[in-house]
Amino acid sequence: MSHRKLSQFLQVFSLAAGLVVADGTLQAQLVPEDESRIRWTQPGAASRYRRPAGPEPVTVATQDSPAEERFLSLNEALRRALENSEVIRVLAGVSATSSGRTIYDTAIAVTPIDIAKAKFDPVLQANSTQRRNESPFLNPVLSEIDGLTTAGNDYGVRVNDRNQLGGTASIGADNRWDSRDIGGFASRNQPVMSVSYTQPILAGAGLAANRAPIVVARLQQEQSYFQFKDAMQRLVRDVISAYWQLVQARTELWAREIQVEQLEFSFRSLEAKADVGLRNRPAAAQAQASWSNARATLVQARANVLQREAALRNILGLPPEDGERLVPSTPPTRDRIEFRWKEIVETAQSSRPDLIELNLILDADRQRLVQQANLAKPALDATAGYRWNGLSGRTPAGDAVSAGLGDNTDWSMGVVFTVPLSLRESRARVRNQELLIAKDRANIQQMLHQAEHQLATSLRAIEQNLQQYEAFREARQASAFNVRAQRANIQAQRDTLLSELLAITDWANAVSAEAQSLTSYNTELANLELQSGTILETHGIRFTEERFGSIGPHGWCMEETGSYPQSLKASDTVSRYKEESRASEEAFELKDFPRRRSGGATGVPENAGGPDLPEPP
């Protein structure tokens, strides 16, 4: 065979066999080739979804660029976070990340319930088979082998239905049509109608065992809901935490800016006096070192503000940069709140989503135990059936004969018993399920133990931060008074400038510590609500079920659509926090620091006004 003819033959063969000829080799299209090498998609081809890049983010090098300030209350921050919570985010350090939960998870968990119910739906089966059979046989008269040819059509329809007691009912109609000489007929029809019922008595019997998969699917759907609720609770807590962290960072930035301003003024004054011989150079060097260290701390404070704002933007679903600076406008609360320990513990035990989820897992495992215990029994099935047989056809002489369906009937009744000689596997599954239930109970007890400790830790942190705030507030006031006193002593030449440098640093540290303790107090109040499982209720957050149209249970052929759960959306209906038209850090009485200005040609600093500070306690 020539090469050309061989090539043509291969092309025709490849079309018939689903092969393709490439590089002189045959490659199967219908049968996948072996995975003999590692494959991957090109990155550009796999990345189908894109979004345009926003403005360049602000850094400490560009933070002085003009940007409009936008007041943001805590109520608005919560509303914005809930609006953008298609994927639920949680705070992770100075950023936010996905919790792995979405608003669609609970609706997705509804579908296994219908899947579990589907095994109790009726099943329609229809068949039609054309046939032609040719069977050889020995013809003793002619001493030769002849062939007997038969042809015809077998068709039928049957409906099977399984009930929740485990029984299966069946009704069907079949017909066998032969078009060749067979059984004395030139052609014939054999119609049959039948009904049957099989009922398990031991394994597979009972309402509880057969409904167990449906109950388990419902419990798993509830687990998904409480997992979603738990993630949403953490989102609310983390929004509050990110908000107060930004307040603390902005307050510290203000204090560090004042610190740098004051230390620079002191350094410039000492440097000027050293130049004219009124002060020595080491004193100026000491002031310069303090000023330089404060500037480094100021850079860190500015970076912290940008990072905390970025974390808040992230968890709210806002872009990294939009030309606006977020300015918190809700003042932190200083109110002392009294708690009843017993009521808090009882509320947590009945309301925390993670505890409820563990109880649902226990209930689901109990249902699985019912199912496994049922399957560990021997199989004993009772069966009953009734059949109507008909026959009609035409004889070789051309006469038509027939018998009605009711003329010839069959019936049967009986039992079928099946048992393995060893029930090792089924009883091992029962034992496994019993151990899982014991494990579930232990997990619940551990979670109750852990929840109580978390509540105790949160209460301790609340009291600690409140008392520290009160102490740091007094320290700030005393530090501001000390700065003024040290300045007066220096002007009167009764003390060295080093005391003033230390006093300024102490004041800035006290402001930072005061802001941190008060914002931590407000964060811990929200954390206590999270630990008790009531943070959504106290903020008036409710879930709304969204629905969508999709294919119904009867299939595409009937063009049926239904309304099904699509998602759970959270909405905030309560404005719980106070809103003001000023920055939150102004609640820390920032104007109580005695700002400095030049004292004229002498360079002697003096007070720039402001309210008189109280005497330190």
The percentage of the chain sitting over the pLDDT mark of 70, rounded to a whole number, equals 84
Residue-level pLDDT at 28 = 47
Q: Which residues contact 17 (CB under 8 A, 6 or more apart)?
A: 30
Mean pLDDT score, 228-251 = 95
Structural contact between residues 116 and 213, judged by C-beta atoms closer than 8 angstroms: yes
pLDDT of residue 473 exceeding 70, the answer is: yes
> What is the per-residue pLDDT for 182?
63
- The Cα 192–Cα 194 span in angstroms is 7
DSSP one-letter code for 63? T
Give the span between the Cα atoms of 223 and 356, in whole angstroms. Answer: 8
Residue 612 pLDDT class (50, 70, 90 cuts)? very low
Least confident interval from 53-67, 273-287, 382-396, 513-527: 273-287
What is the structure's pLDDT at 5? 59
Q: What residue ranges of the chain are covered by domains with CATH 1.20.1600.10?
A: 80-113+213-364+433-607
pTM for the model stands at 0.83
75 near 575, Cβ under 8 Å?
yes
Res 433: pLDDT: 96
Rounded average pLDDT over 148-168 = 91
* More confidently predicted of 608 and 346: 346
> Is residue 139 over pLDDT 80?
no
**Token pair of 9, please?**
């033959």
Q: What is the reported pLDDT for 195?
A: 96
The token duo for 421 is: 């000689």
What's the pLDDT tens digit per position in 182-239? 666 777 888 999 999 999 999 999 999 999 999 999 999 999 999 999 999 999 999 9
Chain segment 541-595, per-residue pLDDT in tens? 999 998 888 887 776 555 567 788 999 998 876 788 888 888 888 888 766 554 4
Q: Which of 330, 360, 502 is nearest to 440 (CA)?
A: 360
pLDDT of residue 73: 93
pLDDT at 266: 78
* Higher pLDDT pick, 90 / 278: 90
Of the candidate ranges 25-34, 143-152, 294-303, 323-332, the one whose mean pLDDT is the lowest: 25-34
Q: How confident is the model at residue 600, as a pLDDT?
A: 32
Token duo for residue 580: 């003001």
Specify the CATH number of the domain 80-113+213-364+433-607: 1.20.1600.10
Among 16-25, 124-133, 338-347, 411-420, which is the least confidently predicted range? 16-25
In this structure, the dihedral spanned by the alpha carbons of residues 126, 127, 128 and 130, taken in order and rounded to 10 degrees, is 180
What mean pLDDT is predicted for residues 168-179? Answer: 92
Position 132 scores a pLDDT of 84
The pLDDT assigned to 13 comes to 54
Distance between CA atoms of residues 166 and 25, nearest Å: 55
